Homo-oligomer: A and B are copies of this chain.
Amino acid sequence: MTIKALAFDVFGTVVDWRASVARDARIFLGQLDRNDIDPFSFAQSWRDAFQPRMNECRSGARPYNKLETLIREALTETIERFGINDEAEKGQLSWLADAWCRLDPWPDVTEGLTQLQKRFPLIALSNGNVALTLKLARYGEYRWDAILGAEVCRTYKPLPAPYDQAVEMLGIRPEELCLVAAHEDDLAAGSARGLSTAYVNRPHEFGSDEVHEPHGRWCWNATDFVALARAIPDPSERW
């Protein structure tokens, strides 16, 4: 199997959204004297509130909207749920909404991406919109060769179109594109479109320290990006 390019899921796979959003939520909640609210629960509720909105876009019930728009709507819902909608000022909310542009990469990301990028083009294939994905990359000091995914396709993963579009735009065969993700539903959707797959274990992504042994069978099963760089063989020709 020859891999010619790698496509990365971003949230949870490249960046630790949970701890990063909780860190900023803790600051926000402290400003409101609401230290009784667990910032990790706040982060989880906020993220959970994206999903029905993305589903509406997936089903066609509403047109495609950027993830940054859905993040702001979801924040409004979350502060209502926690009963703090009257306490937060506009500037504080705007700062908190931008927490999703300040997500720390997992510790192996800089070294792993640097090693992989010498050999492969690295494509962001995220549900994040282009500006958000770009801001995260500048914040984390890595850089994609290209940003594809939901906004370029105007459809959210795991619908087939973002995977198909990446293959088509790169001008390679599906199996030559390896999808890298910490989520098996993403890998399953990519695999169904013919992509190669690399599972990366991100125990903290699921809110615990447990190592999640994958249920599916993926082309590679790596502990982190540095291990992945060692595992994936060199392409026969460079881009």
Contact = CB atoms under 8 A, between A and B. Distances in A.
Nearest to A139: B239
Interface stretch (A15-23, A31-39, A145-153): A145-153
Contacts of A135: 239
Nearest to A133: B146
A142 to B, nearest CB: 10
Question: How many copies of the polypeptide does the oligomer hold?
Answer: 2
A137 interface: yes
Contacts of A152: 152
Contacts of A146: 130, 133-134, 144, 146-147
Contacts of A121: 134, 138
Interface residues of A, number: 25
Interface of A: 66, 68, 121, 129-131, 133-135, 137-139, 143-148, 151-152, 169-171, 238-239
Given A131-B169, A144-B146, 17 more contacts: A66-B171, A68-B171, A121-B134, A121-B138, A129-B169, A130-B146, A130-B148, A130-B169, A130-B170, A131-B171, A133-B146, A134-B145, A134-B146, A134-B239, A138-B145, A138-B238, A144-B145
